[in-house]
């Protein structure tokens, strides 16, 4: 068994209590995948430890859940992966060990899934066909009604007001002036007017993969929640697309909303809230990235707030002509 990458800091997120190689031997036996020949720890992500395993039978991803996650939250993630696939939303296929998806080694819970050979949408253009498929998958997610336990996310749009109050002192004065209007408008939203469903909660480019055959896969359900469906749509609009000119953003937003409306008609209240929710997403990302010292997201959020404020000032996002 050969390890390509040693990532001690990532393994500190979990409570394995046994050497990693010993744990992998137990995993290969329980899931009957054969001896692990190679493995590497995936560097991306902030909570769980994800490890790519290779055996003679194929490649897999082992997710060792964070020691901070409750068993209820872990079961919710597993349930989400299963229910998404049942609904036709492409997610990694889970394997069973002794008839169960979860395996416990020491104090750590983990699950094993098939490896999806594909690349994320980061750094490349997205075709209308691809975007249309993504919107269809999102609408399918929002058609799901099973409930999950709320998991507080300091980067979550819905927590903007609380996070601003607690962390505004960490913002530069210039950034505070960018964030404050979004906080004020967000605070006026009546979420009881919105329809609720399961939401992914973090639909950004890194979480969509596509292989050479054109198949897609949606990953990372760590922010999954039962909340306003329109919240997920706004997060997607804010995070998935490069922040360019007002004109380009308006065209993209119009295209996405037109396709989404053809499947799940947005209410007047939901439609009117989208520009505010987009700004709120950039605002919470500026707060969280400043606090966590993440330069990439700081610049992304600053630019997003600037462009979205102009877009909002110019009128509603549905005023644009069709593509």
Q: Which of 9-18, 33-42, 108-117 has the lowest mean pLDDT?
A: 9-18
* Predicted confidence (pLDDT) at residue 173 exceeds the cutoff of 70: yes
pLDDT-derived band at 316, boundaries 50, 70, 90: low
What is the pLDDT at residue 46? 66
Mean pLDDT for all residues in the chain: 90
In the CATH hierarchy, which fold is given to the domain comprising 120-319? Aminoglycoside 3'-phosphotransferase; Chain: A, domain 2 (3.90.1200)
Identical fold at 2-115 and 120-319? Answer: no
Arithmetic mean of pLDDT, 2-21: 71
Check residues 104 and 45 and name the one with the higher pLDDT: 104
Average pLDDT for residues 53-61, to the nearest whole number? 96
Is pLDDT at 319 greater than 90 in this prediction? no
pLDDT for position 5: 39
- pTM assigned to the model: 0.88
Q: Residue ranges per domain, the chain?
A: 2-115, 120-319
Q: What is the pLDDT of residues 264-278, one digit of tens each?
A: 999 999 999 999 999
> What contacts 24+ positions apart, CB below 8 Å, involve 1-4?
1/35, 1/36, 1/37, 1/38, 1/39, 2/37, 2/38, 2/39, 3/38, 3/39, 3/40, 4/38, 4/39, 4/40
144 burial type by CB count under 10 A (0-12 exposed, 13-18 middle, 19+ buried):
middle
Contacting residues for 36 by C-beta, under 8 A, at least 6 apart: 1, 24, 25, 27, 28, 53, 54, 55
Over 80: is that where the pLDDT of 69 sits?
yes
Q: Across residues 65-76, what is the average pLDDT?
A: 92
Res 147: pLDDT: 85
Overall CATH class of domain 2-115? alpha beta
Comparing CA positions, the residue from 148, 305, 130 lying closest to residue 225 is 148
Mean pLDDT value across residues 186-199: 95
252 band by pLDDT with thresholds 50, 70 and 90: confident
Written as six digits, the tokens of 148 are: 């999950």
């Amino acid at each position: 068994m050969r390890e390509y990458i040693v990532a001690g800091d990532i393994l500190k997120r979990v409570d394995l209590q046994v050497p990693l190689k010993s744990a992998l031997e137990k995993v290969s036996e329980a899931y009957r995948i054969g001896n692990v020949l190679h493995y590497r720890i995936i560097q991306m992500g902030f909570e769980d430890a994800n490890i790519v395993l290779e055996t003679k039978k194929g490649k897999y991803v082992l997710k060792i859940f964070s020691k901070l996650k409750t068993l209820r939250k872990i079961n919710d993630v597993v349930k989400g992966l299963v229910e998404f696939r049942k609904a036709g939303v492409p997610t990694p296929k889970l394997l069973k060990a002794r008839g169960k998806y979860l395996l416990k080694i020491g104090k750590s819970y983990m699950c094993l899934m098939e490896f999806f050979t594909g690349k994320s949408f980061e750094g490349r253009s997205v075709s209308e066909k691809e975007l249309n498929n993504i919107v269809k998958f999102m609408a399918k997610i929002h058609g799901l009604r099973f409930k999950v336990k709320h998991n507080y996310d300091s980067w979550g749009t819905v927590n903007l007001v609380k996070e601003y109050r607690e962390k505004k002192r960490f913002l530069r004065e210039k950034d505070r002036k960018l964030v404050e209007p979004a906080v004020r408008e967000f605070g006026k939203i009546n979420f009881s007017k919105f329809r609720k469903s399961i939401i992914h909660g973090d639909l950004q480019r890194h979480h969509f993969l596509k292989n050479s055959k054109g198949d897609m896969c949606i990953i990372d359900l760590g922010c999954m929640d039962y909340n306003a469906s329109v919240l997920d749509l706004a997060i997607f609009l804010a995070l998935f697309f490069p922040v360019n000119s007002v004109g380009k953003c308006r065209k993209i937003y119009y295209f996405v909303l037109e396709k989404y409306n053809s499947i799940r008609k947005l209410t007047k209240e939901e439609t009117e809230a989208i520009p505010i929710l987009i700004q709120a997403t950039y605002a919470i990302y500026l707060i969280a990235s400043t606090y966590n010292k993440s330069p990439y997201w700081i610049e992304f959020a600053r630019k997003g707030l600037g462009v979205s404020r102009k877009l909002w000032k110019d009128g509603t996002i549905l005023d644009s002509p069709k593509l």
